[in-house]
Amino acid sequence: MSMQKDPASYEQAQALGLNEDEWGVILKRLGRAPNQTELGIFSVMWSEHCSYKSSRRHLRKLPTTGACVICGPGENAGVIDIGDGLACIFKMESHNHPSYIEPYQGAATGVGGIMRDVFTMGARPVALLNALRFGSPDHPKTRALVSGVVAGIGGYGNCVGVPTVGGETNFHAGYDGNILVNAMCLGIAEQDSIFYSAAKGAGNPVLYVGAKTGRDGIHGATMASAEFDDETEAKRPTVQVGDPFTEKRLIEACLELMQTNCIVAIQDMGAAGLTSSSIEMADKGGVGIDLDLDKVPQRETHMTPVEMMLSESQERMLIVLRPGKESEAQEIFERWELDVALIGKTTDTGHMVLHHKGETVCDIPIAPLGDDAPNYDRPWVAPPTLPVINASEIAPGDPAKALLRLVQSPDMASKRWIWEQYDRHVMADTLKASGGASDAAVVRVHDTNKALAMSSDCTPRYVLANPFEGGKQAVAECWRNLIASGASPMAVTDCLNFGNPERPDIMGQFVRAIDGMAEACRALDFPVVSGNVSLYNETAGTAIPPTPVIGGVGLIDDATMAMGFGGAVAGDALILLGKTTGWLGASLNLREIEGREEGAPPPIDLEQERRTGMLVRTLIHGGQVHAVHDLSDGGLACAATDMALASRCGVHLMASDTLSDAAWFFGEDQGRYLIAVKTGAVDALLDQAQQAGVDAKVVGTMEGLDVVLGDAMPLALDLLSQKHENWLPAYMEDA
Amino acid sequence: MNAAVIVFPGSNCDRDAVCALRDHTAKSVHRVWHRDTYLPKVDLVLLPGGFSYGDYLRSGAIAARSPIMAAVQAHAKRGGLVVGICNGFQILTETHLLPGALMRNAGLKFLCKSTPLRIENADTPFTRAYDDHGETAIPIAHHDGNYFADEDTLDRLEGQGQIVFRYVNNPNGSSRDIAGITNKAGNVLGMMPHPERAVDPLTGETGGLAFFKSLAGAMA
């Protein structure tokens, strides 16, 4: 048989990232050595990226069910019930490795890929977010990476016509060799028109649609499953090239096809392209699949079977049709001027069989690819416990000077230079986007009075200092941001970015961060419905700070009740909700002002978190507040400054009787919100907080045109705004 | 009386335009596919924003040569109203229904922001509901919005009242701060800002309401 031509060797398997045990399983299952095509298929399916072999057993600890969950992890994206027969379908995914190698295309195709995961399931994409982490501003590569990644995200999303409404951007030397580009997409679908990937039933036609298959991205999944080294530049050919115009047509054509009764199963070709899409659909459907590779639309000549099977050319979908629906489906794609071809059918053999130029070039049983996929219990060590830093050992400093420095520090400075390059308003349903003075982005559900709130969050310095507390905090902060925008938090997606899992210390970070996330998701009734793991974010033995990004979604029943922090007016009292101890360990203040990256991060009392959040939600729904802002990086002073700048009104904050200025104004105790209310409403509100078991205290007033911290020198809003706005443009243009 | 919104394969503001027309002019709105060769009986043709054919070449260049454009040109010649927003403006200059060209933004970056505008001519079917020489704000979202024409053309546009909207703070390097112009006859308008995104107080932008109110009046 021709499959036995050109048998692969163990050395070749090793070069593709398979180890001796994995090679042994392949030999046993096939009863022979795989040929080159088959080896290619096993190597990508069992790559970390596709098989989650280091992470699977730990991901199971995350809660994935809840009243709102229609479909949890395992499909292309998570699905939640948002009422009125509608569903929100969403997911976040990394495109870290390609974005470092080729920032524009790496980021652009990250956006394209995550949108496909969402519309594959029947949803029209309605919002995009991006969580970006770059190296130190002083690193020679950072500027070009920021410029390329931002242009790539904009270039793709703007053209497709889905608004990019939110995200976050951090800078830290820990990302000098491995930037993070995490893209999140939300879509909206009718609940009775959701599409899944199980290709049930033999004899159904398999339709290929979208762009042609080229030699780009071959072994991209394998690349994303290894560390970078000095040869990283040589991996540029593994990066794919995006074509948003094709994606736009693919969205419209697929959504049109979904209105018909043609589809059995549908899956986008993402990592490991035709291989993973066909195998996953067949595996979930309990069928086999026969493909004729000569029928695959090809961009280049003389492509080999393995090249076609591993290509990660973008903007391609695989669809299993009901028999007899071929021409109806093909006609739709032809009208959108997309390549479309019938390339095979499902079978009852349980095997994947590939034909090429008259020969059978692959014949492997499908079940073992999933069933026997490696599932490692990697050794891990518990992360060290860092000492709690006593605020009294930190110099109190001049809070005005500190605030002025913080507002222009790279992490706090305005990211206007970035988000003005993103179309935030297309689709005309964006109610709050980046720069919109809201802790979460808010997008109306089209033609309804409801809105979805969304936010992506992680504080890597907390996770590095204590992965368990940091994992909890990422979830809690996301929940808090949704609450502060007036939403009821519903569910999350995650994107877990870590270093090399074969190192026990890195594995320890991973395991404990998931433990923390799981605890917070449970306590806050905030299930994980989809996600992505990106490991091996490591260069020459140096790993990134552990960065488990949480993308949360909440529902606002009445869009007119969306809340922000720009509505405070002169005369308002500022009330701080939540308990303040003056926690400076692992804080932004400690890093930026004292130059110290030390100490345990702030702990979170999840019960208290929930109580405080529920109170804030009640206050917003009752129309009792003008502005709400959660306290995060930079604590009370930075939250109040945000509120002042957004509301165009000064703020006076009182100093603390018991805490130092640094601890009171910049401490990062968790579970806190700053709210602006009419003076006359203060007493009733303090009573209400007391009854709810939430610490509440008047900490200042909205007045004048300065930010005043206790007895410190007043800072004019204009000065703060100028410093806050100028850092990033000045940095980017200082080439 | 009716309006048509032309849908190119890469249009992405077509739905927004349809909704704004539907909600604020109370007319029936047809979607017309780019490969069609005739228009339904309409008073207004709107070329929406987006990336008509991907715009990997010059923005709007391919769309200008699409089958439906002959019918749009005939409609314009008959005196029918034509509005091109953003990519639609680019298409109108590529078809020479409007003079000049839209080049890459002076800052070379895509720009999405709310933009203060001055109404330079409130005596057009597109602007009658605005105050003459009043100001409004409408968001822009484009990479190629830098309006260029030779000096003679610009002088002529000024002299004939064809400059309808001007940027208060020029965001993209446009000659003479031009944000929107009409043809000489005054029935064809091109503008870079997106009025269809500025019709709902909940979005924080309402500067486009008077634009659609004007259209409603013109089509009455």
pLDDT tens, position by position, B69-78: 999 999 999 9
Contact present, A94 and A81 (Cβ < 8 Å): no
- The C-alpha of B125 sits at a distance from chain A's nearest C-alpha, in angstroms, of 24
Decide if B67 touches A, using CB distance below 8 A. Answer: no
* CATH number, position B204: 3.40.50.880
Whole-angstrom Cα distance, residue A343 to residue A208?
7
Kindly report the average pLDDT of chain A as a whole number: 95
Q: Is A286 left (phi over 0), alpha (psi -120 to 50) or beta?
A: left
Distance CA A488, CA A525 (A): 11
A315: left (phi over 0), alpha (psi -120 to 50) or beta: left
Q: What is the DSSP string of A280-309?
A: HHHHHHT-EEEEEGGGS-BSSSS--HHHHH
**Distance from C-alpha of A70 to C-alpha of A432, rounded to nearest angstrom:** 27
In the prediction, which pLDDT does A136 show? Answer: 98
Q: In this model, does residue A238 exceed pLDDT 80?
A: no
Q: What is the ipTM of this complex?
A: 0.97
Which residues of chain A are within 8 Å of residue B12 when distances are taken between CB atoms? Answer: 159-161, 248, 426
The answer, for B63 touching chain A at a CB cutoff of 8 Å, is no
Of A420, A426, A560, Cβ closest to residue B12: A426
Beta bridge partners of B31: B5
Contacts of A424 in chain B (CB under 8 A): 112, 141
| Position A271 confidence tier, pLDDT thresholds 50, 70, 90 | confident
pLDDT at A1: 46
In a mutational test of the A interface, the residue from B5, B7, B8, B12 whose CB has the highest number of chain A CBs within 10 Å is: B12
Q: For residue A428, which residues of chain B lie inside 8 Å, CB to CB?
A: 15-16, 19-20, 196-197, 199-200, 203
pLDDT by residue for chain B (220 residues), tens only, comes to: 799 999 999 999 999 999 999 999 977 999 999 999 999 999 999 999 999 999 998 999 999 999 999 999 999 999 999 999 999 999 999 999 999 999 999 999 999 999 999 999 999 999 999 998 999 999 999 999 999 999 999 999 999 999 999 999 999 999 999 999 999 999 999 999 999 999 999 999 999 999 999 999 998 7
- CB-based contact B160:B151 (threshold 8 Å): no
**Distance between CA atoms of A620 and A635, rounded to whole angstroms?**
22
User: Which one of A58, A95, A629, A724 is the catalytic residue?
Assistant: A95
At A372, the pLDDT band (50, 70, 90 cuts) reads: confident
Rounded Cα gap, residues A78 and A76, in angstroms: 7
Confidence of residue A224 (pLDDT cuts 50, 70, 90): low
Q: Which residues of A touch B113 (CB under 8 A)?
A: 420
Contact A239, A290 (CB under 8 A): no
Which class for B149: exposed (0-12), middle (13-18), buried (19 or more C-beta within 10 A)? buried
A86: Cα within 13 Å, side-chain hemisphere = 19
Give the three-class secondary structure for A95.
Answer: coil
Go through A539-564 and write b for each residue having 16 or more CB atoms within 10 A of its CB, e for each that does not: beeebbbbbbbbbbbbbbeebebbbb
Collect all residues of chain A within an 8 Å Cβ-Cβ radius of residue B13: 161, 426
Average pLDDT over residues A481-500: 98
pLDDT tens digits along A556-607:
999 999 999 999 999 999 999 999 999 999 999 999 999 999 999 999 999 9
- Boundaries of domain holding B79: 2-219
| B20/A430 Cβ within 8 A | no
Q: Is A95 a residue of the active site?
A: yes
Judged by DSSP in three states, A425 sits in coil
Whether residue A476 contacts residue A672, with contact meaning beta carbons closer than 8 Å, is answered with no
- Inter-chain contact B204–A431, Cβ cutoff 8 Å? yes
Judging contacts by C-beta atoms under 8 Å, the chain B residues touching residue A252 are 9
Measured between CA atoms, the residue of chain B closest to residue A450 is B202
Q: Is B201 on the interface with A (CB under 8 A)?
A: no
Interface test with B, best of A104, A188, A245, A445 (most B CBs within 10 A): A245
pLDDT at residue number A230: 64
AA letter at A53: K
Does residue A355 carry a catalytic annotation? Answer: no
- The answer, for B13 touching chain A at a CB cutoff of 8 Å, is yes
- Look at A420 and B53 and tell me if their CB atoms are within 8 Å: no
Q: Do A428 and B20 touch (CB under 8 A)?
A: yes
Question: How high is the pLDDT of residue A3?
Answer: 65
Q: Residue A735's pLDDT band (boundaries 50, 70, 90)?
A: low
Domains of chain B: total: 1
User: Are the C-beta atoms of A63 and A522 separated by less than 8 Å?
Assistant: yes
With a pLDDT cut of 70, the percent of chain A lying above it is 97
DSSP A698-717: EEEEE-TTEEEETTSPPEEH
Q: Are A332 and A256 in contact (CB under 8 A)?
A: yes
Contact A589, A635 (CB under 8 A): yes
Answer whether A158 sits within 8 Å of B15, measured CB to CB.
no
**Is residue A283 within 8 Å of residue A17, measured between CB atoms?**
no
Tokens of A552: 């949360």
The alpha carbon of residue A269 is apart from the nearest alpha carbon of chain B, in Å, by 22
Q: Which tens digit of pLDDT belongs to each residue from A134-171?
A: 999 999 999 999 999 999 999 999 999 999 999 999 99
Amino acid at A383: P
Task: Say if residue A734's pLDDT is above 90.
Answer: no
Exposed, middle or buried by CB within 10 Å (0-12, 13-18, 19+), for A684?
exposed
- Chain-chain contact of A161 with B13 (C-beta, under 8 angstroms): yes
Task: Outline where A430-503 has alpha helix (H).
Answer: 460-465, 467-484
Contacts of B52 in chain A (CB under 8 A): none
Asked if B36 reaches chain A (Cβ–Cβ under 8 Å), the answer is no
- The pLDDT assigned to A365 comes to 95
B103 near A CB under 8 A: no
Check CB contact under 8 Å for A161 and B194: no
Does the distance separating the beta carbons of B111 and A248 come in below 8 Å? Answer: no
**Which of B18, B112, B199, B200 to mutate against chain A (most A CBs within 10 Å)?**
B112
Which positions in chain B touch A159 (Cβ < 8 Å)? 10, 12, 51, 54-55
pLDDT in tens, A503-539: 999 999 999 999 999 999 999 999 999 999 999 999 9
CB contact under 8 A, B110 and A243: no
Rounded-to-integer distance, Cα A401 and Cα A411, Å: 17
Give the model's pLDDT for residue A5.
76
**Residue B166 touches partner A, C-beta closer than 8 Å:** no
Instruction: Choose the closest CB to A160 out of B12, B55, B113.
Output: B12
How far apart are the C-alpha atoms of A91 and A376, rounded to whole Å?
A: 25
Q: How many A/B residue pairs have CB atoms within 8 Å?
A: 90
Q: Which residues of A touch B (CB under 8 A)?
A: 151, 154-155, 158-161, 243-246, 248-249, 252, 336-337, 419-431, 436, 444, 559-560, 562
Which listed residue (B13, B86, B120, B205) is catalytic? Answer: B86
